[in-house]
A and B are shown apart, each in its own frame.
Chain A
Amino acid sequence: MKNILFVFILFPLFGLSQDFSNEDYIYLKRHEHIKIGLSKQNFDITKQVSEQAEYLTAKKLYFANEAMHFDSFSAIEDIDAYTYLPERDSSVKVDYIETKREFDNGIFYSDQESKIFTFPAVTKGAITNLNYKEVVKDPHFLGLFRFGTFVPTKSAQLSIEFPNDVTIGYIDFNTKDVSVDFKQEIKRNTTTYTWTANNIKGYQNEVDGESMLYVVPHIIVYIKSYEYKGQRINVLNDVNDLYKWYASLVNQIDNSELEKVYKIADDLTKSIPTKKEKAEAIFNWVQNNINYVAFEDGLGGFIPRGAASVCDKRYGDCKDMANLLYEMLNHVGIEAYRTWIGTRDRPYSYNQVPTPMVDNHMITAAIIDGETIFLDGTDSYVPFGMPSSFTQTKEALLGIDANTFKLITVPVQKPESSVTEVSTTINIEDDMFKVSEKRLLTGYEKVDFITDYLYKKDTKTDEEFLNTTLALGNNKTNYNNIKRENFDNKSDALELSYDLEIDNYVKKVGTKLFINLDIDRVLSKSKIDDDKIYDKKIDHTYKKNYITTLNIPEGYSASFIPEELSFENPNYGYTITYSLKDSAIIQTKSIYVNTLSVKKQDFESWNEFIKSLTKAYKKSIILEQNQ
């Protein structure tokens, strides 16, 4: 008898320690119960949230700080929170809750607020309990539930209770490796769906990784339709309804004083013959003249501001710029549509997820000579004709008219559109490595350089910035005569040139000089760690072509030149060749990346590529003094 009892007690404890014994803090439960009421076509929706967490150590007491966000579409009510201390079998209640706002770098004004508090008396062994009600004021926003979160969860559960005349849609993501138990319970008036998952590990962000939503097991629920007086009325039955809703919102755009906007469009395009060039002029004008300032205020976060007002104020957010482009382009006779899209962080398609969760961005699509051109006014440096890089692969929803829309996938841009061409001449004078180099950057290569130059350079000098970003030679490289051309010119390649002096670079031993021509070691730090969990995200495809000429100094001749090296894979690779011509050694190198994502199963092949490339970078030329 004693034995049985012993096993009995030990078992559940063992179960816990086996899973999460190395953790500092875990959720014992995270439960959400959505209750939908419907009376006379009015929804009454609340979410009852119930969370319980345990401190397995006293290290991360900062988890005691809790924040519940809400905005004009929701409210937080009936917060009941306390800390339970098993050792003393006593509880300490949360007695102070504040409503706060936060500054957000991206959004200038937002109606989002937070209820914040700190759990009292947390220490090793403490169990915190939080229960509250979230009122959902608009039936389009049921949100999403994550089975996994930043720390492990022992019991995760979402349930939704709704009247039998309401139809609920749902779709889950990344649940392949977790077992989610689904239960359906039908009562006389209501139906309840319940999804439960146990012992879900923690998920944290990874640098270079795809967004968490590609990995975290989660579920999206939404109201498809309801019945009213014998009729089925759709809410978000499918993407048609989502579009209808969006169309009803853009219908509310303030269209006053559009003549102001038209005048600008006319002035910009009057002397331009082709549609394509007209569109380009308008796009460049919006890129150059409308500053990104975002306001998120209730439905104002969904309805673009009037085009005339945006022109007057000279600022707007994505939807404001999208609508302005739409008005200007159509005015000059170019077929253009307001277009909704999710950025690459959102792994959904419109048909899968016909809810506002699917997108977070707005652009304009112009159709010129049968070609669809995606225009993102928020990306100030992207060349006309290319979509913003963070919308590639994503489905775009083009609003054709009040009832019609079209779904088009934004194509992945080819490596040939984003090229860095580098031509380098190297001379050796008194053992000093002297370089003169010119770089031409196009497409996203140009966009990235300019963005970094503007926003990551801070108050650093050009030399320090180039030393830390290009990292040519070593971090002791001297830059002189730095020149930048075509910074603001959208259509031409960015031209960057400079002269370098690199100290400690030429290795002289006896009569030999050891010289490495790979001063640019791009990708050499890109090995993927064995413990990386998410697929590796690549922002855009590209090509880098190098031609490097080393003038052999007088009195020397080449005694060793490395062989040709290469790595070939459809998605990535390189080739390096050397040739001797007169008194110069010429290295030709080309590197390409032709994918936006390296999947987990391809990590090994990617690492082979990087290893091969890094090894190739290490090959030195040997020059020997003539006897």
Chain B
Amino acid sequence: MIKNTLFVLLFVSTNCFSQYYKSYDWSEKPKMHSITTQEEKEHSIGILKKSIVEYTSSDQASDLIQYETTHTITRVNDEKGIGQHNRVYIPMHDVKNLIDVKARTINLNGKVTLLNKDNIKEINNVEEYGDFKIFAIEGVEKNSEIEVLYTVEKEADLFGSETLQSDYPIKAVQFLYVTGDLNSEIKAYRTNSKFESVTTDGKASKLLDIRNMPAMIEEEYATPGANKIAVVYQCFPKGQTITQDMFWSNVVNNVGSKIIPENTNSKAKADLDAIMKDKKDLSNYEKIVLVDNFVKTNFTVVKNNNAELSDIDYILKNRSASDFGILKVYANYFKGLGIKYELVITANRFTYKFDPDFFIPNMLRDFLIYLPDEEKYVSPDRIEYRVGEAPFNMLGSYGLFIKEDFDYYFSKIVQSDPNYSTIKRIVDITFNDDFESATLKQHQEHAGHWSVTSRAILNLSTDQGIKEYKDYLTGSGIEDKVVESYEVKNTEMNQMEYNIPFIVNSTITSESIIEDAGDSYLFQIGQVIGTQSELYQEKERVNPIEMTYPNQYDYTITVEIPEGYTVEGLSSLNIDKSYKSNSTGEKICKFESSYKLEDNKLIVTIQEFYKSNEYALNRYEEFRSVINAASDFNKASILFKAK
């Protein structure tokens, strides 16, 4: 009875406040917007993308009420543009109420087609994304404008985020944040535009208005998906203010109390006995390796909504855990072994840039365990990784590190060994008598992330994937190559030592690598290093430079010069490109190749390295010259002439 009264009161009181979404509407009579000839060439172009986030609260309760309105107008110019915009998915995750949806199309002749709301479909529990309402836009033709407007009432949360930039240009992007007398925080990423204070229906608001926002484009050595212009915000219950420190402490306590055990679970103890059975004089590192190998070969990390997947007893019995639950397994084992550890919460830098200065739960995406005494990481839900460095997609991200005593700090995730990832390659080349074919005998050693990838593919991939990888390992880009022998070593994913290299020995022959030119032979020596990536840059570079990971290549190519021949055209084998640190003058990345002639041998040595993972955007051309130098070398050929 009391509840009922409260509900009514609550209802009445919220009704007292006007909500902006109720008065916000699209124009009654739509008109086509004019666009430039350049804009006509795009597959599609945004005319307007407006998001309104509105918080209110009732007088009686401190509960927040949150509405989100999305309004877009998009011009579609061709089949691809139509395909990008004629299907609308409204995520219903955390949505209490879909208040209104409308959509219409206006074509070049001014004909307007309105969405028939009966055609809105509902789909539930889609993969990991939750529920959706979906519909297809009706009446779209080439050069139409599509307009969509909807408002949802959300399960009010204290925070949120909105990605403003898309993979097509948008002429006007607006983010309106209506919070009235509630305390709030807002921050925009990767834009110089500033929020201005405005009043919306008498309520204090902030507006971010950005004109002519370019498309985010795919670029190599970059994380475009995480570099889009975006907004994050926080809104606090009436009369309250919450600092970032308070948010973080809350996360730390919450996560810490759930994961970090006071005592080791008894089943975990039994597991440890089994893991360590008959093993003596183990170092801590070896113990950690044994634990990690055990987990990776006995547990499965599961993505579904089963709440028990974070219950330690259930997990240890079923050997199944959520990505969160699996942390408890490690925490219990490490506790049982007396090994110091820290929990790390971070985000894959290719999808989100973790920001210690502004808390939103959306960035708590990935978990690692850090072993401070060893300076190593465990990646609990990454089957391809074993104790060592952090996975490359988190390298350089900030992380929240939580100690066993719930103390915490933020740090960038770095490699303990800066030279972790290397490839050594020794190639010996001989020709048969009449230059019909070349034989390449190769020895390669892959270390660090290279070896992780190699092992993962050979152990986990499909037959086709393994076949393609073998092609890569034996020299990509040599079209007619015949693999005479091929042998791989240290392929097991479970390794006891840190950074054991993965080894490939192979012998291949090729005819196409030699070109017949009258009485001489052109040998495409550059092809020996495999196809190299080339960075194109017609447009100005947009994204800051980020490598997949720092790495180094050391190649020695020895060519036996057949008797009766001389070799010419060697100058193209000398390449020296580098990018030097402004402060120290040291080379941070470089490609250097040179040759020497010894008796009947031509010996080419190459060293290429990228010591840092990040490079300055304004020095992109220097970085590009180093990357492209390898591609230049790949084009090098030398000439054998009869004496």
Contact = CB atoms under 8 A, between A and B. Distances in A.
Interface of A: 58-62, 64-65, 92, 95-96, 98-103, 108-109, 116-124, 204-207, 288-289, 291-293, 312-315, 380, 454-455, 458-461, 463-464, 467, 474-476, 504-505, 507-510, 514, 516, 524-525, 527, 529, 531, 559-560, 610-611, 614-615, 617-620, 622
Contacts of A505: 635
Contact of A614 (B463, B512, B531): B512
Contacts of B493: 59
Interface in B140-162: 140-142
A615 B512 contact: yes
Nearest first, the 4 closest Cβ-Cβ pairs linking A and B are: A58-B297, A120-B318, A560-B518, A459-B217
A455 B460 CA distance: 29
Contacts of B125: 98-101
B398 to A, nearest CB: 28
A618 B512 contact: yes
A559 B517 CA distance: 10
Contacts of B308: 96
Contacts of A560: 517-518
Interface string B115-148: 0000001011111000000101011111000000
Interface string B273-313: 00000000000000000000000111110101110100000
Contact of A59 (B142, B320, B460): B460
A538 B367 CA distance: 46
A467 B462 CA distance: 29
B464 A527 contact: no
B628 A618 contact: no
A458 B168 CA distance: 11
Contacts of A291: 79, 82-83, 86, 140
B458 to A, nearest CB: 10
Contacts of A510: 568
Contact of A315 (B43, B86, B218, B516): B86
B639 A64 contact: no
Given A459-B218, A461-B539, 18 more contacts: A64-B300, A65-B300, A92-B317, A95-B318, A101-B123, A101-B124, A108-B136, A123-B297, A124-B297, A204-B463, A206-B464, A293-B87, A312-B138, A315-B140, A460-B218, A475-B531, A509-B568, A622-B518
A315 B136 contact: yes
A603 B383 CA distance: 38
A3 to B, nearest CB: 33
Contacts of A204: 462-464
B632 A504 contact: yes
Nearest to A531: B467
A463 B538 contact: yes
Contacts of B631: 475-476
Contacts of B383: 61-62
A465 to B, nearest CB: 10
Contacts of B632: 476, 504
B320 A620 contact: no
Interface string B195-231: 0000000000000000000011110000000000000
16 contacts: A61-B299, A62-B460, A92-B317, A96-B306, A101-B123, A124-B297, A293-B87, A312-B138, A463-B538, A467-B534, A504-B572, A504-B635, A504-B636, A510-B568, A516-B515, A527-B480
Nearest to A124: B297
B320 A120 contact: yes
Contacts of A293: 86-87, 136
Interface centre among A96, A288, A289, A525 (most CB of B within 10 A): A96
Contact of A529 (B113, B216, B467, B572): B467
A360 B637 CA distance: 51
B538 A60 contact: no
A514 B317 contact: no
A109 B296 CA distance: 37
Given A314-B138, A614-B512, A509 B536 contact: no
Contacts of B138: 312-315
B319 interface: yes
B541 interface: no
Given A509-B568, A614-B480, A615-B512, A620 B522 contact: yes
Contacts of B636: 504
Contacts of A101: 123-127
A508 B127 CA distance: 59
Contacts of B79: 291, 380, 454
A123 B298 contact: yes
Contacts, number: 191
B80 interface: yes
A111 to B, nearest CB: 10
Contacts of A109: 121, 123, 134
Nearest to B518: A560
Contacts of B121: 109
B621 interface: no
Nearest to A454: B80
B459 interface: yes
Interface residues of B, number: 76
Nearest to A524: B479
B485 to A, nearest CB: 14
B123 A207 contact: no
A510 B302 CA distance: 66
B511 interface: yes
A64 B383 CA distance: 14
Given A123-B297, A514-B517, A559-B518, A96 B140 contact: no
A525 B479 contact: yes
Given A118-B304, A455-B80, A509-B569, A527 B479 contact: yes
B272 interface: no
B320 A121 contact: yes
B306 A514 contact: no
Contacts of B514: 618
A207 B636 CA distance: 31
A28 B608 CA distance: 50
B374 interface: no
Nearest to A450: B79
Given A92-B318, A122-B300, A475-B534, A611 B480 contact: yes
B59 interface: no
Of A61, A108, A205, A611, the most chain B CB neighbours within 10 A belong to A61
Contact of A123 (B317, B319, B522, B568): B319
Nearest to B569: A509
Contacts of A525: 479
Nearest to B538: A461
Contacts of B539: 461
Nearest to A611: B480
Contacts of B462: 204-205
Interface string B12-28: 00000000000000000
A101 B124 CA distance: 7
A483 B493 CA distance: 51
Interface in B85-114: 86-87, 113
B635 A620 contact: no
A236 to B, nearest CB: 31
A109 B568 CA distance: 64
Nearest to B534: A475
Contact of B637 (A313, A314, A463, A507): A507
B126 A103 contact: yes
Given A455-B80, A560-B518, A100 B298 contact: no
B167 interface: yes
Nearest to A297: B121
Interface in B470-486: 479-480
A99 B78 CA distance: 37
B297 A620 contact: no
Of B317, B536, B632, B636, the most chain A CB neighbours within 10 A belong to B536
A598 B121 CA distance: 45
Nearest to A475: B534
Nearest to B477: A525
Nearest to A459: B217
A46 B94 CA distance: 39
